[in-house]
Amino acid sequence: MNDFTKGLLAGIVVLVGYVLYTTNSSKEIDAGYPATEAGAEAFLTEAEKEISDYGLYAAQTFWVQANFMTVDTTALAAKAGQEGTEMAIRLAAGARNFNDANLSDELRRKIDLLRMGLTIPAPDDAEKTAELAKITSGLDATYGTGEYCREDGTCFNDRDLIRIMATSRNPDELLEAWAGWRTISPPMKDDYARMVEIANEGSLELGFADTGVLWRSGYDMPADDFTVEADRIWGQVKPLYDSLHCFVGDKLEAHYGDVATTESGMIPAHLLGNMWAQQWGNIMPLVASEGADPGFDLTKLLEGNGYDAHRMVKAGENFFTGLGFDALPETFWERSLITKPRDRDVQCHASAWDLDSKDDIRIKMCTEVTADDFRTVHHELGHNFYQRAYKEQSPIFQGGANDGFHEAIGDFIALSITPSYLKEIGLLQEEPDASKDIGLLLDQALDKIAFLPFSLVVDKWRWQVFAGDVTPEQYNDAWWNLRHEYQGVTAPIERAATDFDPGAKYHIPGNTPYMRYFLAHILQFQFHQKACEMAGWEGPLHRCSINNNKDVGAALNDMLEMGQSKPWPDALEAFAGTRQMDGSAILAYFAPLKVWLDEQNEGKACGWDAS
């Protein structure tokens, strides 16, 4: 029951064998361990056993619920989640007793990881702990059951509205969907503010100034230094985003006219093909001009070559065995859910599972024969091979080096799904010439580059809220100020202080930290660049595939085996030869696109006024 998220039930996230949300604990914390190295060793021995014992039971429970969704399995999963919550509270509080102890580096790391295991920590107050549990589950339920209803009684859930945002080209319909979904979040605002107050009390008791500091302290550097580091990396890649923003804004104005035109130069959020304007890939047909044809349709290639879901997963496995990793165990094929059953509802969101912290790894995915799912298969197996690589580590160390590493590994592998790779496995007869690269790169950039500033905004807003720099009356203005500054995206209609637009994004009421996604988008390209360098690749970075390179695989495995046992710079150095996350690999990967975008933008008024 490690690192990768196993379930979202009753406001509970299970991660690294223990849960991140809080309810009242029914078991007394054992305060009998002295604040010494010997005391810490004894405490951690008990903690590791408890995590291991709980992990398999909880993982099996959540697996059954995800694959057999009934009232009973949901109740059992909720019970397992609460038990994990109580364990997390005990372990975090127990670890707090060693805050000032003189410990070895390994013991200190374990203690700190346990201390930081609660995303929304409760204070040592039963009444406030119960209140916090009620609030977090209520926020989750409000989002999960949210609907926008017209006056005629027609109602739309989030999936309905997301589909409209992705496919409609009618600006009135898009505006209705965008504004309609944001009617669900204002009722969350007061509860969210109260949750912040209580969680900050809990964070202070654990030794952190506020909950935002707790979150940022998980990156092996002082919290304030991490804030500076995130901005440094963003500064590296911002010029590429600026070029993409200018190009896309111009294309939208050409299509929508005055609806897409703003005096500030910002893009109205409802026109970018996504409910949150976080990824823009759905508008590729609107912005892809002459010279932006990728030259092949991967979905049609898969269909034409007789691929089914099982064969797609097998292709993903073959990629990893080609790097020198052991084949997936037979239990993977026996126990994974690879296609949607005909006889029952299941949770179809793709995920990778590690049930026993050893070899019982699985995926759960309603796989369809599409280009997106072909890439997703490679991504999810990246989680599985990472999970198996660190299986010999302590349960406390069974996770990514930082929370961006796990997502980055899968995405890094998917970057090798290049025309040369598709030719090697028989899906393409000939690689498209270099003139087709712009289409491939533009398609990737609309998702990966457009996502970067949004992924910063989500947590920057929360850090300000947790620190008290933004009051509840300022929540919505602060949200849009950040989106203006970083994304150059603006609300299509006037927003009021009584609105709570951050709450319309699940990760806010769900209390899921978001920096992991920003870091993953940086690290995947850094890993890819280094791997291609190891492989002796000399062509354009976006054309490189590391398929069948066992030297790269051996170096990758060395990093994966470390899990979370060392600070992430140690893990990064083990593979990439540097201790610093670096956005320059993104610039190298998209270099031909940047040149092309700047040519398209020549003579146009680029940039935006965020004031």
User: What residues are labeled active site?
Assistant: 380, 507
Cα atoms in the 13 Å half-sphere on the side-chain side of 399: 27
The answer to whether the CB of 27 falls within 8 A of the CB of 86 is yes
The answer to whether the CB of 220 falls within 8 A of the CB of 562 is no
Based on the number of CB atoms within 10 Å of its own CB, is 446 exposed (0-12), middle (13-18) or buried (19 or more)? buried
Instruction: Determine how β-strand 489-490 pairs with β-strand 267-268.
Output: parallel
C-alpha pair distances (Å), 401 with each of 132, 407, 520, 561 = 30, 11, 12, 10
582 Cβ neighbours under 8 A, 6+ residues apart = 233, 236, 522, 526
- Write down the residue that tokens 């580590």 correspond to: 393
Q: Contacts for 384-389 with beta carbons within 8 Å, 24 or more apart?
A: 384/328, 384/332, 384/352, 384/354, 385/320, 385/325, 385/409, 385/560, 386/3, 386/560, 387/2, 387/3, 387/4, 387/352, 387/354, 387/361, 388/354, 388/358, 388/359, 388/361, 389/557, 389/560, 389/561, 389/563
H or E segment and range at residue 288: none
- Write down the residue that tokens 């203690």 correspond to: 111
C-alpha pair distances (Å), 4 with each of 19, 400, 564 = 12, 9, 13
Q: How many CB atoms lie within 10 A of CB 409?
A: 26
The answer to whether the CB of 509 falls within 8 A of the CB of 184 is no
Taking Cα atoms as reference points, which of 400, 396, 376, 374 lies closest to residue 386? 400
**Could you tell me the two tokens for 583?**
């956005």
Question: What SS3 state is found at 531?
Answer: helix
Q: How many CB atoms lie within 10 A of CB 21?
A: 26
Based on the number of CB atoms within 10 Å of its own CB, is 151 exposed (0-12), middle (13-18) or buried (19 or more)? exposed
Taking Cα atoms as reference points, which of 29, 57, 223 lies closest to residue 114? 29
145 Cβ neighbours under 8 A, 6+ residues apart = none
Q: Residue 337: beta bridge partners?
A: 364
The answer to whether the CB of 13 falls within 8 A of the CB of 3 is no
